[in-house]
Amino acid sequence: MAKGLRKYFLVEHPYTWIFNGKEADGRYSVKGLSWVMRQALKKTGITKDVSLHSLRHSYATHLLEDGVNILTIKALLGHANIDTTMIYLHVANPPSVLPHSPLDTLYPVK
């Protein structure tokens, strides 16, 4: 994969996005991405209903479960309002972290 990406970078010279689309700002259109996804799903034999939104949702949920701050996830997803990002809190299953005081970390236990 690394060889293929190097070759792609040398030939295509991506400027903003890794894979440049035909939109004015270099992005792929949603219609184009949906087509690519449908083609990939056909090749894999996956029959589950999968969409671009479900990939985005999975990405956000996995970030949250890996302990990424909700404000960081908000920025990565481009949400204008934190309430939109908070939707992912009810689906995620983050690891339990015991509550502690910041004072607990001032002097390590020896």
How high is the pLDDT of residue 12? Answer: 84
Quote the tokens at residue 13.
């010279």
What's the rounded Cα separation, in Å, for the pair 91 and 105? 31
pLDDT (0 to 100) of residue 97: 67
Domain membership flag for residue 18: yes
Q: Do 59 and 35 fall within a single domain?
A: no
Same domain assignment for residues 28 and 57: no
Distance from CA of residue 22 to its chain's centroid? 22
Domain that holds residue 66: 51-94
Is 108 within the bounds of a domain?
no
pLDDT of residue 19: 80
Q: Which residues of the chain are under the pLDDT cut of 70?
A: 92-97, 110
